[in-house]
Structure 1
Amino acid sequence: MADGVHFPAIRTACAHCSIRERAVCACASPAELEELNRIKSYRSFAPGETIAWAGETMPLVGSVVEGVATLALTLADGRRQMVGLLLPADFLGRPGRTRSSYDVVAATEITLCMFRRAEFERLLRDSPRLGQRLLDMTLDELEVAREWMLLLGRKTARERIASLLVIMARRQAGVGDDPTPGGASFPLHITREAMADYLGLTIETVSRQISALRREGQIRLCENRMVEVPNLDSLVVESGGGVDPAV
């Protein structure tokens, strides 16, 4: 696993962390939070920097605090497919599994809250609530993967774009930004090229569909890559449904 930029000092107390209510530590007791606070460290990566290679030993696990990373697999002939995104509060790595299953690459500047694997696994053994929380997050990932099978197999290009925007809007609201009445806003961290790779589309198709959604008033493109959704329910209709708001 790449080192990134290491911050030896604890920068933010766990109790005041921006992802506290959504991350693996959401159900932690005060004593467990204190222990997590003791064993954590921060690492930051620049856009395009590899965090971990598929098959590489990962001595660290942890949560995304800020930014976005992509998960990708590469076939023997060099073909590459993005298979997932890591957004704030998502967990990187698997306790009990020493190697990365995917290439993990920073799509934006990203900050991770990391724990040494052995220390985190010890804490899981001693803290059933943390173990249950991690299991719940893993089951949520399974639901997302099933939804993505539907998206890639049956949805139109427009529905794919709308689905991704709905997911990002709901995730942003879940990590601290309350949606406006009936609407939402969020930073579009990933490029259109990355969106095309993730959604199985061409860049040109992504651009056309985003432009169409903008013309029709479904979204607004603002400064600093912010996207505003005036009516989230309307965008859900454009997505064709199947995007579970609980995930």
Structure 2
Amino acid sequence: MKMISICNKKGVVGKTTLCKNIAYKLALENKKVLLIDLDPQATITMQVNNDVKNDKCILDIIASKSAVKLIKIINLIERTKYKNIDIIMANEELNKISATINATYSEKEKYLLSDIIYQNNQEIFENYDYVLIDYPPTINELSVSFLMLSDVIIVPINEGLNSIKGLMDLQNTLNHFCREKQKNIPNIKILLNGIKEGKNLKQILNLLNEKKLNNLSKSKISYSETFKTIENNLNSIWTNPYYWRQKQAYEELIAEII
């Protein structure tokens, strides 16, 4: 099992679109994929939901110290309407995660919750080839915990300078907590996502170089106004005869991270 996180401490950078398109491509290649939706907005949950009421989320398993030991992750996993893709869905209850964690767990425990969840459910997790996690822009304690457990973190950035600020904030957060918990910093891949060729791209590349953010993916998702309009259909990028540049970029990205 390989755990891949898609995260940036800035919204509207294409995290969910990346997550769903990577998941679908892996599933097409007959790989078993588990999606974990940590975003209370539940966008990816709505897009892949197989008409199941999303009244369960990962908060259920960490609601108490007894729950984290007794509730098995399998009870939260639902099939999606797509072959080879399962999901732990999200809902608005995830807004309570930080308050719940701080009221229930010690400083030592709260940033290691994903380790506890994994250790108590290792056999279930290992039934999947890939676990893909979609994050909210606001990073809470559980988000940090799963980021530290990840094998790879994809950080999409766009033309907005705020997305680079979100990247830098994320790296600072990871550096701090990995050092504190004596963990290795996961492999981070910065992905240019929807940036137009020309002056904007040059400015972004210069800024990345200036800030010594050198872990840039070899792949780049090209900007396309029409591509943005087909994002509501999970499989549209692969079944549509167009968008060959985006498809090629996704294939290159997947080859780079798996």
TM normalised by structure 1 equals 0.28
The structure that is helix-richer by fraction is: 2
- Higher-RCO chain (CA-CA 8 Å, sequence separation at least 6): 2
TM normalised by structure 2 equals 0.27
